[in-house]
Amino acid sequence: MAEIAVQRLTKRYGETLAVDDLSFTVDAGRVTGFLGPNGSGKSTTLRALLGLIRPTSGTALVMGRPFHELEKPVEAVGAALDAHDVHPGRSGRGHLRTIAAAAGIPNSRVDEVLDMVELTPARDRRVKGYSMGMRQRLALGAALLGDPKILMLDEPANGLDPQGMRWLRDILVALAAEGRAVLISSHVLSEVEQTVDSVVVIGAGRLVMQGSLADLVKGDRRPILVRSPQADELRALLVQAGASVGPDGRPDAMIVHRSSLETVGTLAAEHGIAIFELTHERATLEDRFLELTGESGNVR
């Protein structure tokens, strides 16, 4: 049984269809990326899974049940929806203690969790003085209090610096390795691509794809950046091979569309052309999303 099962979930707000007939599952033991542009329905889906909102139709089940039917919700699911969801006048430790108390979790676990998220030195400081990264850690700490089987984190990498990103990646991978189901949402693919094992991609409230990260990258049509001292010669060959080539702003570089890294590399080698740089341009999930769906924009 999948730890999380969303079945034909639809959520309508007046005229707006926030989630549209969405179905996907999340398994234990892996980190699943829940990806989609801003406003695509990720948070709405998570809220439905957590029983905070009611589906218009369809179901959002956790361990086979609606959230409110779980006997011990904190032991089943740990959730962090928004790192800003904390009273700024409370200390980090005080914040976690209010949650722990509600769940019947002892204070010793609060200190344990603060240690896990490396906030012990700042635990007695008021949250208003916390950086965004510290708030993200605190939110993760709150989610971990009940030692839950499932973690649901909404944009946990938001506002993290590179060290913070690496830390988050390591801790999430470790948590999944312990057999937990970890679902993290993001609107930036590059933010999570080194963390997730599989992805659920949504756009405009609908499922775009569910599969492994490799499935997502397969058929990658992101533009390719090529830099070569024989740029003109290579450009002509690429155009001849059917690619479209645009300028990059630098004389020795170009942006190649409708081709692949392999094609460009092979072509250059065959003609003895030196290559200084050959890489995909960094793309946000929005770019990939647009490629996948051919739709423009998600404001509904």
Where on the chain is the footprint of another protein (CB under 8 A)? 44, 47, 50-54, 67-68, 70, 73-74, 77, 79, 81-82, 84-91, 94, 97-99, 101-104, 142
Closest distance of CB 69 from another protein, Å:
9
For another protein, which is the closer residue by CB, 94 or 265?
A: 94
Nearest to 94 by CA among 128, 52, 50: 128
Closest distance of CB 199 from another protein, Å:
24
Closest distance of CB 81 from another protein, Å:
5
For another protein, which is the closer residue by CB, 182 or 245?
A: 182
Residues 278, 231: Cα–Cα separation, whole Å: 12
For another protein, which is the closer residue by CB, 81 or 200?
A: 81
For another protein, which is the closer residue by CB, 50 or 209?
A: 50
For another protein, which is the closer residue by CB, 154 or 191?
A: 154
For another protein, which is the closer residue by CB, 74 or 182?
A: 74
Closest distance of CB 176 from another protein, Å:
21
Which H or E run contains 254? Answer: strand 253-257
Residues 47, 42: Cα–Cα separation, whole Å: 9
Closest distance of CB 19 from another protein, Å:
12
Closest distance of CB 75 from another protein, Å:
11
Q: What is the secondary structure of 27-80 as a DSSP string?
A: -TTEEEEEE--TTSSHHHHHHHHTTSS--SEEEEEETTB-GGG-SSHHHHEEEE
Residues 73, 146: Cα–Cα separation, whole Å: 9
Q: Are the CB atoms for 124 and 91 separated by under 8 Å?
A: yes
Residues 153, 79: Cα–Cα separation, whole Å: 6
Which residue do the tokens 């609908």 mark? 206
Residues 33, 54: Cα–Cα separation, whole Å: 23
Nearest to 56 by CA among 3, 5, 18, 23: 18
